[in-house]
Structures are given as C-alpha cells and as structure tokens.
Amino acid sequence: MSPLEPFGTRLRTAMDERGPLCVGIDPHASLLSEWGLGDDIAGLERFTRTVVEALGEHVAVFKPQSAFFERFGSRGIAVLERAVVDLRAAGALVVMDAKRGDIGSTMAAYAETFLRKGAPLFSDALTVSPYLGYGSLKPAVDLARESGTGLFVLALTSNPEGAEVQRAVREDGRSIGATMLAHLAAENAGQTPMGSFGAVVGATLGDLSSFDLAVNGPLLAPGIGAQGATAADLPKVFGAAVRNVVPNVSRGVLRHGPDPAALRASAERFADEVRSAVSGV
C-alpha cells in the first residue's frame, strides 16, 4: 500500500477546512448513564454510533480513548474498530489515545497495531509515552514516517502528578519535558506546513513561556471545557505556537448528547471560539 500524505499536512488541511477542534470519544460509565444508556456493550455501541453519525462529517479530529472500549473486551474493541473506519471514511482524522510506550519489538508491535495501513485499528496518529527514553519510540517514529501517520508524545500533561517527571531537571539543566519538545522539533525540521510529530501539552497549565513549544508540529491540548480551560486561554498558554494547537474537548461536547443536533451545535461553538481566539495571533 502506498503511504498517505504526511499526517501534519492532512491535519493542517482538516483544521483549516473544518475548524481547529478535536473531540474526544470517552464513553465512561457516568457519561453513558447521562445519556440514559447502560454501562454495557449495547450502551457503548449506541453512544459511539451516535457520536460518529452526528459529528463525523463536521469535526476535523477525533480522539477515541482506547481504554473505555478495551474494558468491554473483544466486543468493545470491535465497536472501536468500526468507529475508526467510519470516522476516517467521513473525512475526519483519528488520533488513537492509547498512550503506548515500551521498548524494542513490543514498541514495534504497538506501532503495527495502530499505524500500519490495513490493521484493524489503523489510525491517523497515536499518543505515546516516552518515559522509557525518547529513543524507545523509534519503531513508532519509523513506521509513522513510512505510513504517513503521526505521533503525539506526552510532554507537558495537565495531571498534577506529571510534573514530578516532566519538570524534573537533567544534568544539563534542561527539564525532561523540554527535552521531549526538543526531540520533536528535530523530527519535524524542515517540514511544511508542519511536521507529523506532535506533543501533548495541557491547556490548563498556564504560562508555558519557559518552554520552547515551537516544535513545527501539532500540540494536542486537552483541558478545554469541563477541565476548566477556555479557548480564550490558548494564546496565553501557547503563545506564537497557538496556530498549531489541536484543542481537545470531550465532555464539553458529549454532555449535549444524545441529541445529534445539540452535539453538532456544541462542537461548532467550540471550533468557532478557538478560531476566534487564535485568529489574531
């Protein structure tokens, strides 16, 4: 199979055409209950189908959280497989939120699962953890280049526990998070309109001016909506890199279900707010 156009190129086009927004698909038990659905495979399937059918042709990027499907076993994975295929068929990009990280042949197997064209869970990009050393990601980096897919590397996450690792300082005086950003900038050097290797950087972290976020790649930014960050916060957090930010909203959109029109209206509102916030930067 021939490789796709590079993920960074496809992402830039999708956000320009559909709006700068990523909708997380996180079917946890409380959200299923809010929708009047059971915490079972029937509820999972109904929830997922509704989101895909309501938003698949309107939103640029979707980020299904693999764990919420995996907890139902093979039948849950089957629901996820169908969702990925249908979202991509609707013209959306899929970032699989699996946060995989290992070494050697195991990392290669994770990469094959999500980044090899023809795989049942083939996605446009994958979230990965670099905390076995950035070099441990090489099998995924290599396959992403070969297949035209992308990676989002955990760099500066919004959970409070993340700081003990990501803001720890190396012997050279640079923090671990800053080191990950530097690796990504090297991966993306010379790529236009942007590279395919991005970072996960929380939108709730406040002033990040001490970090060089200009990695010439996308910055996946969870925290918009229910976690407290707003579109208006993005320029303050991301500075000149804000145009490459992919804001992720989950509950802020999904709580408006199961009404398809309400889901679409919420997603459009978030996308418009982000577009307005970054237009002058």
Active site residues: 99
Token pair of 8, please? 């960074």
- How distant, in Å, are the alpha carbons of 140, 144, 167, 189 from that of 147? 10, 5, 32, 18
Query: Which residue type sits at 183?
Result: H
- How distant, in Å, are the alpha carbons of 34, 50, 152, 256, 263 from that of 41? 16, 14, 29, 21, 22
CB atoms within 10 A of CB 242: 20
DSSP assignment of 169-222 equals B-TTS-BHHHHHHHHHHHHTTT-SS--SEEEEE-TTS---TTS----SS-EEEE
CB atoms within 10 A of CB 139: 20
Q: Is the peptide bond before 258 cis (omega within 30 degrees of 0)?
A: yes
